[in-house]
Amino acid sequence: MNIQVIPSANVCRKSDVKGKVVVVIDVLRATTVVTLALQNGARSVIPMQTPEEVMERRSQMNSSSVLTGGERNAVKIEGFDLGNSPEEYTPSVVNGKDILFTTSNGTAALLATEGAQDVMLGCFLNVSSLVEKVLNANTDVAIICAGTNSDFSLDDGICAGMLIYQISRRVPVDTNDLGALLSKYYENGSTGILSKIVECNHVKTLFALGYYNDVMYCLRTDRSQIVPHYRNGAITVK
């Protein structure tokens, strides 16, 4: 199985994803929050580029079944129902709702997948279920690490490494150098992975803003069997 890792969404080219199964990873926090929202009963999550688009779309929809969520500079957007913290997306809040969602990096990563055969969202929460989906697809794969501020982010990278490492234990994997590096890094440090991630620049930012619980939540592994799929502008469970 051929697996190419893209270091950040802004450097993803059309040829990197065309016709492939694409996995978008934004561990802190977008893909984790989306996975959790769908697990807790949300009907769909609709990624949008700007807060303004979200507000305009909301005004056109039946407000009783719609929520707005997301962040800018890691903080909840003024006038939105929800921020980007997992703990906000409880069953009582999100069940049956469509969530209009915009984040700094995750949305750009999803928009970069145009031309892909299939797009899935990955995070530590659903990594083992994702492994099964990718193995079933049995085709060329691109993993887009969403990144932070247009730069590679190690939290996404270690999740990508975990995914490749687990797949490579089941089938032969041919990967690019970044994929090989991340898989090896995960393998060598798998028992102390948390200590590696807390050194990420993005984690330092989130800690400084008081999002300690969010980070700890996002680093939980295999708590969900939900693999969100993005198609026709919406993220749902397949």
**178 lies in the site for its own copies, by CB under 8 A:** yes
Measured between its terminal Cα atoms, the distance across the chain in Å is: 23
Give the span between the Cα atoms of 41 and 5, in whole angstroms.
31
**140 lies in the site for its own copies, by CB under 8 A:** no
User: Which residue from 152, 173, 187, 225 is in contact with its own copies, where contact means CB under 8 A?
Assistant: 152
Nearest CA to 230 out of 13, 15, 26, 10 is that of 26
Per-residue x/- track, 49-78, its own copies (CB under 8 A): ------------------------------
Beta strand 75-76 pairing with 66-72: antiparallel
Give the span between the Cα atoms of 28 and 86, in whole angstroms.
10
* Element of type H or E holding 56: helix 51-60
Task: State the minimum distance, in angstroms, from the CB of residue 199 to its own copies.
Answer: 6
User: Which residue from 92, 191, 195, 199 is in contact with its own copies, where contact means CB under 8 A?
Assistant: 199
Task: State the minimum distance, in angstroms, from the CB of residue 237 to its own copies.
Answer: 31
What residues between 10 and 29 interact with its own copies by CB under 8 A?
Answer: 10-11, 13
Give the span between the Cα atoms of 33 and 21, in whole angstroms.
21
- Interface residues with its own copies (CB under 8 A) are 4, 7, 10-11, 13, 148, 150-154, 157, 176-178, 180-181, 184-185, 188, 196, 199-202
